[in-house]
Structure 1
């Protein structure tokens, strides 16, 4: 099992284990909540298509954790901004970002979206394409709604 796959498995096992140990009955999410979770994940995609850093960061909790493919974790808003929009780096422009949600679920104030993506962008004048899988862990933020707390993605090899 690749390291990223093992890490995702361990993280999901931990989240499920912790939520299973919580006191009180588990709160199953209804269709309206699952739809809101899916829309929160979609907002992330739409923010990238708008090429708007503030919109992208607005889809996250105040201290998000990113797990880029093949790289160490990036923790916090500052680390995410430095990773995606380095001050001394050329501008990246997203030209296509398609996602398909394969699973949307959760319990109480925790949820997840598992899916696949195709991403096309220009960077330093050259066009790039990437496709792979993603996992969003989301947390319900009081007075705000669902926000992404952890964003994992893994590029898949080209066919």
Structure 2
């Protein structure tokens, strides 16, 4: 009987949502990229939805943007056309997890069109993620980049 109970639990009881935090953080980073590549009306709510309520971003050469309003104003300025992302490649170098916090180190290659001009840039990125109510969110995002010719 004991073997039956163990087998039943292994087969039919849901596995922990926390079974593979590294894979979950990697998926969050990928989702961030995938949303930007949509280039449609779902980008703003999608990206903002990935952020923790008290998220902050630190674009290269800019002060820390530590409110949702400041982040939204940086990425989605009211009254201005959005950039069209034409390429966004990412690599993950390392992921460290400890409980409900994770740090991802990665690199990116990005091209976008804004106001008729194409810009290409490459750089490094650090994403700090926090698990909130079982779901990973972006707590902080920091990047450096260099124009690519």
Shorter-chain TM range is: 0.7 to 0.9
How many Å separate the matches in 1 of 2:142 and 2:38?
A: 21
- Deviation of 1:93 after TM superposition, in Å, equals 1.0
How many Å separate the matches in 2 of 1:151 and 1:88?
A: 25
- Deviation of 1:31 after TM superposition, in Å, equals 6.6
2:31 counterpart residue number: 43
Structure 2: state its 5+ residue gaps: 1-17
1:124 counterpart residue number: 115
Structure 1: state its 5+ residue gaps: 1-29
How many Å separate the matches in 1 of 2:19 and 2:147?
A: 35
Alignment coverage as a number of residue pairs: 129
2:15 counterpart residue number: none
1:62 counterpart residue number: 53
- Give the RMSD, CA atoms, in angstroms: 1.6
CA change 1:133–1:31 in 2 (3 A) is farther
2:78 counterpart residue number: 87
User: 4+ residue stretches of structure 1 with deviation over 6 A?
Assistant: none
Q: TM-score, normalised by structure 2?
A: 0.81
Q: Which is higher, the Rg of structure 1 or of structure 2?
A: 2
